[in-house]
């Protein structure tokens, strides 16, 4: 995907499941997309990793530049990855 860049969202909660749901919620709110779309993008272009701290996960996915720009992150990410 040439028109996408990597992004990571941190989720936290009392359990790993809560932390994962928190990461999905944060990503969907940040980009104004459905949780289903976040899950699909994460499944096909990234993953959910358990962090070192208990109850923390890292959700990674390739994110379209247009979504990054709409969230105000476009120039920051493009400066880093282009």
- Condensed to tens digits (0 to 9), the pLDDT of residues 49-61 reads 998 888 999 999 9
User: How far apart (Å, rounded) are the C-alpha atoms in residues 55 and 66?
Assistant: 31
Q: What is the domain count for the chain?
A: 1
Q: Which ranges of 11-82 would DSSP assign to H, the alpha helix?
A: 16-31, 35-45, 65-70, 74-81
The pLDDT of residue 17 is 95
Q: Which domain, by its residues, includes 29?
A: 4-81
User: How far apart (Å, rounded) are the C-alpha atoms in residues 7 and 62?
Assistant: 6
The order of strands in the sheet holding 47-50 is 4-12, 56-64, 47-50
Q: pLDDT grade, residue 1 (50/70/90)?
A: low
The pLDDT of residue 52 is 84
pTM for this one? 0.89
Please say if the pLDDT value at position 80 is more than 90: no
User: How far apart (Å, rounded) are the C-alpha atoms in residues 74 and 68?
Assistant: 5
């Amino acid at each position: 995907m040439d028109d996408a860049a990597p992004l990571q969202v941190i989720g936290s909660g009392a359990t790993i499941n809560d932390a994962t749901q928190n990461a999905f919620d944060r990503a969907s709110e940040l980009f104004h997309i459905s949780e289903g779309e976040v899950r699909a993008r994460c499944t096909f272009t990234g993953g959910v990793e358990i962090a070192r701290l208990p109850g923390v996960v890292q959700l990674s996915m390739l994110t379209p530049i247009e979504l990054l720009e709409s969230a105000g992150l476009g120039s920051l990410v493009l400066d880093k990855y282009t």
